[in-house]
Chains A and B, each alone.
Chain A
């Protein structure tokens, strides 16, 4: 120290030396666990810093809006008379039962009829699942009303009308008799929508082709010969009404559906809910009016996540260790892998993912902790035999999705390849027809091996890769089409 130090200063320095010697300079590298803790805090802080006040304002707005929305979204209320309600929601008419809705619509039930009533949001109407028996509906016509009856493989869409519908689960017989208005019927062996008007009757039974609708006069509704009446033109087949196009059809498949009640084998509550079909988004290069047998085949997803429509397998979600899933809530495999079930016709995942740690960023020698922080995938594992794709492998697949603007990657894996060997399409766009030639093992550089075909593909997934920043994410797969 300096020569002009006073004795008092020297005392302090001597004491300081004592402390310096007691805690010498640390030679070891710092404990990286401390950095991990700091990074977690930084992530939280970043989220708070950016979102604190906007989030409060938004939360207030959302509260008010959602409150209003929830009120507006309330479904129709109804009261059932002479009906027994089972724990699974099944209503069974003990005698001549009746259901009255708050909009004035009614359903008269024959004795022993079993059905489910699912009122739709915004008090628009209800979906009636007729399990067995006969129901006569009187639907009050209102703007934007949505009423539908599903009976076995058939679906009847209603806007405002009066009709009787009968479904025998045991015999597989279906019969609908119109009294007023018109309905759209589809399903079974009907190739498309069939419009029925007042006085017309449509009937079908197991194993028999659906006959052309007759025009008998169901009591008590006239006319006796509807076909001859201008008010009751012959049934016509047309596209589904616009609102139906956006609605998941519990029975809808592209392939002809057997009229036998095969679906109830899954149990009365397990109705295959296809992911929302997207007929309005034809894949590039494919005419939207393609003949049905050669048109796109849509993979259906049952409520339990099982794949359908000629493909066996299931949907799943997998997340990297650095990704935290908020939905779905997982329990298997360290909360990072779960079977994924559709909700509102879509497969959705949400959560947060940490930012990547990289060295030599921007250089060819960049190294990141991809292994622990690769992102999240919505995947589809399909049966790993030679008939993985059903009757034939598609020439292209198209995945419809929506989510935060980002780079999504479509990966496929071939049966027999190492697990880490994937063919991928970088920056895959929603709905784009993905042909085998577009998949490369090094898709980020558009190099590597090219996927020869889909024959041996046993799994594919839509991946949201992690980025350099901590981020919250939510994305949904809304449809999968196999293109011939």
Chain B
């Protein structure tokens, strides 16, 4: 790999001039760096390599491949986490933890091309753990339950905002696993096979648990006037 010239004479000169003032006439100007020395990341004009290549390179310790994986999936992970937890102040920390876990566990990925599913799987797992942590914190009194999660107040209409608040309350009553299944299946619109893979379940088990989840959610919707009103006539029938 070629090396470009550079130096730190500027600061050395400045420092020297300050330390031996009067002894020298060293110039204090910013070094004229070559254009090619300017920081070039994260700009990248070329399309990123396929996932399989990125995974192989990242496993070999290529930091640039890690960066490309992050830049490709950061938005998706962030969106998933915010939907899972609700937009709180610390979702960035959760996202960071997710990518740390992804890069640590890349060696477990049997099929490098299946990176997207792997990312979702890890993201859901970390989000579940975060929900558990929040529950424990609420139990020991470190954080009141009603503040978790906070409900967005952006452009939602009043009814939808109330429904959203009620929905998060409903999700809080589910276990982390069921919450994760709900997010994967009904929010991220994943196929059942993808849901099964992301939760390390067999297809049949995933179907059974989803069916139970649907029943449970419907039962709680019926018990919630806000949600019952929000879903309208389709919520009146019940059954699966």
Question: Which A residues form the contact surface with B (CB < 8 A)?
Answer: 6-16, 18-26, 28-32, 34-35, 37-39, 41-42, 45-46, 314, 316, 318, 320, 332-333, 336-337, 339, 355, 357-359, 361-362, 366-372, 374, 377, 379, 381, 383-384, 407, 409, 411, 413, 418-422, 424, 426, 441-445, 459, 461, 465, 468-469
Contacts and interface: CB of A to CB of B under 8 A. Distances in A.
Interface in B17-40: 19-20, 23-27, 29-34, 36-40
Interface string B54-65: 000000010110
B214 A26 contact: no
A441 B5 contact: yes
Contacts of A461: 7
B6 A18 contact: no
A376 B127 CA distance: 41
A38 B70 contact: yes
A358 B237 CA distance: 59
A459 B63 contact: no
Contacts of B15: 316, 332-333, 337, 339
Given A19-B167, A370-B6, A8 B218 contact: yes
B237 to A, nearest CB: 4
Given A12-B182, A357-B64, A34 B5 contact: no
Contacts of B239: 6-8
B3 A426 contact: yes
Chain A interface mostly helix, strand, loop or mixed?
mixed
Contacts of A16: 182, 185-187, 189
Contacts of B185: 12, 16
B7 A9 contact: no
A318 B12 CA distance: 7
Those 5 A-B pairs whose CB atoms lie nearest each other, nearest first: A16-B186, A30-B74, A318-B8, A367-B40, A420-B31
A379 B8 contact: yes
Contacts of B122: none
B118 interface: no
Nearest to B26: A384
Given A413-B9, A419-B7, A8 B96 contact: no
Contacts of A29: 42, 71, 75
B215 interface: yes
B182 to A, nearest CB: 7
Contacts of B5: 411, 420-422, 424, 441-444
B11 A444 contact: no
A35 B70 contact: yes
A8 B238 CA distance: 6
A419 B27 contact: yes
Contact of A357 (B10, B27, B41, B167): B41
A45 B66 CA distance: 14
Interface stretch (B128-136, B195-203, B228-236): B228-236
B221 A42 contact: no
B120 to A, nearest CB: 15
A23 B83 contact: yes
Nearest to A444: B3
Contacts of A459: 9, 12
Contact of B39 (A25, A34, A372, A426): A372
Interface of B: 1-16, 19-20, 23-27, 29-34, 36-44, 61, 63-64, 66-67, 70-71, 74-76, 78-79, 82-83, 87, 92, 95-96, 99-100, 103-104, 152, 154, 156, 160, 163-164, 167, 170, 182-183, 185-187, 189, 213-215, 217-218, 221, 227, 230-231, 234-235, 237-240
B60 to A, nearest CB: 11
A23 B152 contact: yes
A26 B40 contact: no
A19 B164 contact: yes
A347 B26 CA distance: 24
A18 B164 contact: yes
A320 to B, nearest CB: 8
Contact of A34 (B23, B66, B95): B95
Given A23-B83, A461-B7, A41 B100 contact: yes
B222 to A, nearest CB: 9
Given A7-B239, A381-B12, A419 B29 contact: yes
Given A10-B234, A35-B42, A357 B67 contact: yes
A333 to B, nearest CB: 6
Given A318-B11, A367-B40, 14 more contacts: A16-B186, A20-B83, A25-B79, A38-B99, A316-B15, A359-B41, A367-B36, A368-B40, A381-B13, A384-B24, A407-B3, A418-B32, A422-B5, A444-B5
A467 to B, nearest CB: 9
Given A26-B78, A419-B32, A333 B103 contact: no
Given A359-B64, A369-B39, A374-B6, A15 B32 contact: no
B186 A369 contact: no
Given A41-B96, A361-B1, A366-B1, A11 B74 contact: no
A23 B82 contact: yes
17 contacts: A8-B214, A8-B239, A11-B217, A16-B182, A22-B83, A22-B154, A25-B79, A34-B96, A38-B100, A41-B96, A357-B40, A357-B67, A362-B1, A366-B2, A369-B40, A419-B32, A422-B9
A370 B20 CA distance: 30
A11 B221 contact: yes
Given A23-B82, A318-B12, A369 B100 contact: no
Nearest to A37: B96
Contacts of A361: 1, 64
Contact of A377 (B7, B26, B64, B67): B7
Contacts of B20: 314
